[in-house]
Amino acid sequence: MNYDLREVSSHFQLYGTYVLGIPFGTGHINDTFALTFDQGGTYVRYILQRLNTSVFRKPELLMDNFVRVTAHIGGKIAAERLHNPACRKRTLELVRTRKEALPYYRDETGGFWRCYVFVENARTFDILETPEQAFQAARAFGNFQCELADLPGRLEETIPDFHNTVARLNALEAAAAADPLNRLSEVGPELDFIRARADECGKLLDLQAAGEVIERTTHNDTKLNNVLIDDLTGDGCCVIDLDTTMPGLPHYDFGDMVRTGTSPAPEDERDLSRVTMRFPMYEALLRGYLAGAGAFLNPVEKSLLPFAGKLITLEIGIRFLTDYLDGDKYFKVHRPGHNLDRCRTQLALVASIESQFDAMRRLVDSL
């Protein structure tokens, strides 16, 4: 869809001459654009996003969370900036509107927009290339959790039950029963694979109810392309895509790192022989995450980190399959059967994790 980016950007406190606005990133949900402004001969970039309000049905609450999280982290690094200007990269900086100084703008059609400063000299990786990159990305996410451990109050749940794997499984069974597009006959092996692991879906929730794992402020979408790696230092410098930052379990974040950071294949790989959990990447992620978050995890929480990778990978496979059966309403698709391909990739990764699970457990026990 075409948007008048010049007009939308005019509602934010952006100065200089609008030069260019182009699509940016590989996200499945929101529409994201990189804007360039000429400010007295210096080109300055910003990120402009149109939120998907079909997914985020209470965008004002989402932005309340966004403001609280970035302000809390920003407050912690304010003094440090005097001695280390590069530390400003550690959190996103919102640009408010000209009218009322709001953190978002609604256009005449109801479109919901936000803008923040482009983090320069840093980039994301859809597939991590080295264990050092995995370590740095995981440490950044661990630090993110640690910096929010003392956030006052409780954030709003922008998507209730977002990582409730039991609820996700129930939604899949409902989609399979309804079969609105007659796709059920195509997915028998995938359903069988998921149903064979149904008893594991409630494990973390049961332990949370028993008080053995503790709700914290978590990112809840820790794809490794949601952390920026500094071009100069190689450090994980800034966690981005904060839309699902809300109450959750630390395992959700670590599990999604394993899902997205250990396989050399993309999320929608059709050649399943390429899908494998690379153990050196898992080890780097585990060490990096514990370097950032290890101080606040209790022994039970730490012991469950290997299981987290399996559970969240299974959960995302469930979500992709549910969306495929429902008619591809949630995730953006770019070809027929795209969500089914994504599902199959996740399930292949679950199988690879299971084949190495004992070694994963021995490693976490040794740290």
- CB neighbour class for 361 (10 Å; exposed up to 12, middle 13-18, buried from 19): middle
- Could you tell me which residue, 330 or 16, shows the higher pLDDT? 16
pLDDT over threshold 90, residue 305 = yes
Axis-axis angle for helices 279-293, 250-261 (nearest 10): 150
The C-alpha atoms of residue 47 and residue 24 are separated, in whole angstroms, by 8
User: Poorest-confidence range of 43-52, 87-96, 105-114?
Assistant: 87-96
Given pLDDT bands bounded at 50, 70 and 90, which one contains residue 76?
confident
Q: State residue 224's pLDDT score.
A: 82
Find the mean pLDDT for residues 17-46. Answer: 93
Q: State residue 81's pLDDT score.
A: 60
DSSP lists the bridge partners of residue 217 as: 247
Sheet strands (E) in the chain: 17-23, 31-39, 42-50, 105-106, 112-117, 122-123, 216-218, 227-230, 236-239, 246-248
User: Poorest-confidence range of 101-105, 128-132, 259-263?
Assistant: 128-132
Q: What is the pLDDT of residues 55-74, one digit of tens each?
A: 899 999 999 999 999 999 98
The CATH number of 131-366 is 3.90.1200.10
Going from N- to C-terminal start, the domains of the chain cover: 5-120, 131-366
Q: What is the pLDDT of residues 195-249, one digit of tens each?
A: 999 999 999 999 999 999 999 999 999 988 899 988 888 888 899 999 999 999 9
* Average pLDDT score, the chain: 93
pLDDT over threshold 80, residue 79 = no
pLDDT over threshold 60, residue 83 = no
The C-alpha atoms of residue 200 and residue 208 are separated, in whole angstroms, by 14
Q: Determine the topology of domain 5-120 in CATH.
A: Phosphorylase Kinase; domain 1 (3.30.200)
The C-alpha atoms of residue 276 and residue 135 are separated, in whole angstroms, by 18
